[in-house]
């Protein structure tokens, strides 16, 4: 069967990655969580004093970009690839509300985007890939065989992210989570370089009232229609 490129874009916490992972596993495709890559650069900046109480040293981060190596390694026990920064597994460290609070500012920097987009295009060049993010169907793979745009109400999304953080044991307030989700949506949709928007040929799926199983079935049907 021919392999295709599947691009999944959408706002924060629309459950893109959960269903994307399932789909990739089922199809035997590579799954790439591009949000994890922007989060990793943000984590690097925080760990290296480029983001602190004094502000954000954008020039310093751009200067240090060549030192940042992001990679993914499949973890059999969890069933998906985890993200590594300069050889160290940082999968759990990048999902905090602190990283979420800065990531959209880091993702607005063109030099950061250029570096990560290049790597993403390389990872997906042989097709057989499910990639999720904000600009996959518009910038990374504008010719993707199947483009999906996931949406859900802001409340549904904030509740999902809140439950995820609480289940991990993080102490967070719901108000802070919803504020972060709305702030990121605004910044991601209004930045100059590669803003988030639905590609003309993307299929929109509002999953506010859909179970994971229903989402998976819908996506799989769309894949079958594309093949």
Q: Order of strands across the sheet with 5-10?
A: 30-33, 129-133, 5-10, 146-151, 203-206
40 is in an annotated binding site: no
Is there binding between residue 160 and ligand C5P (CB under 6 A)? no
Q: Out of 19, 27, 51, 107, which residue is the one contacting ligand C5P (CB under 6 A)? A: 107
Q: With CA atoms as reference, report the closest residue to 212 among 34, 14, 27.
A: 14
CB 209 → ligand C5P: shortest distance, Å?
21
Residue 11 labelled as part of a binding site: yes
The whole-angstrom separation of Cα 83 and Cα 192 is 27
Is 17 a known ligand-binding residue? yes
Instruction: Specify the residue, 212 or 227, whose C-beta has the smaller distance to ligand C5P.
Output: 212
Burial of 219 (0-12, 13-18, 19+ CB in 10 A): buried
Residue of 22, 133, 152, 199 that binds ligand C5P (CB under 6 A): 133
- Residue 85's SS3 state is strand
Nearer to ligand C5P, 89 or 221 (CB): 89
- 34 marked among binding-site residues: no
Q: Is 15 in the site for ligand C5P (CB under 6 A)?
A: no
Structure tokens that stand for 74 in this block: 């499949």
- Residues 160 and 137: their CA atoms lie apart, in Å, by 24
Judged by CB under 6 A, does residue 12 bind ligand C5P? Answer: yes
Selection from 204, 208, 155 nearest residue 182 by Cα: 155
SS3 57: coil
> In the set 8, 24, 31, 34, which binds ligand C5P (CB under 6 A)?
34
The reply to whether 21 sits near ligand C5P by the rule CB under 6 A is: no
Measured from the CB atom, the residue of 159 and 224 that comes closer to ligand C5P is 159
Is residue 135 a contact residue for ligand C5P (CB under 6 A)?
yes
Q: Which of 184, 202, 219, 223 binds ligand C5P (CB under 6 A)?
A: 184
Q: Which residues bind ligand C5P (CB under 6 A)?
A: 12, 34-35, 38-39, 103-104, 107, 133-136, 184, 188
Extract the annotated binding site: 10-18
Residue set of the binding site for ATP: 10-18
């Amino acid at each position: 069967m021919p392999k295709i490129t599947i691009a999944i874009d959408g706002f924060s916490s629309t459950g893109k990655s959960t269903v994307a992972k399932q789909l990739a596993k089922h199809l035997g495709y590579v799954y790439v969580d591009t949000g994890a890559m922007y989060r990793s650069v943000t984590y690097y900046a925080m760990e290296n004093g480029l983001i602190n109480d004094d502000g954000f040293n954008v020039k310093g981060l751009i200067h240090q970009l060549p030192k940042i190596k992001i990679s993914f390694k499949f973890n059999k026990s969890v069933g998906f690839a985890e993200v590594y920064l300069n050889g160290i597994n940082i999968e759990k460290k990048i999902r905090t509300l602190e990283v979420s609070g800065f990531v959209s500012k880091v993702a607005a920097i063109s030099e950061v985007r250029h570096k990560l987009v290049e790597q993403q295009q390389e990872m997906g060049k042989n097709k057989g890939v499910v990639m999720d993010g904000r600009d996959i169907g518009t910038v990374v793979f504008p010719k993707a065989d199947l483009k999906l745009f996931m949406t859900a109400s802001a409340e549904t999304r904030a509740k999902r992210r809140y439950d995820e953080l609480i289940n991990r044991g993080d102490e967070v307030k719901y108000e802070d989570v919803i504020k972060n989700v709305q702030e990121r949506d605004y910044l991601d949709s209004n930045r100059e370089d590669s803003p988030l928007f639905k590609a003309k040929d993307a299929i929109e799926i509002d999953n506010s009232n859909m179970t994971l199983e229903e989402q998976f079935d819908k996506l799989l049907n769309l894949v079958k229609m594309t093949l």
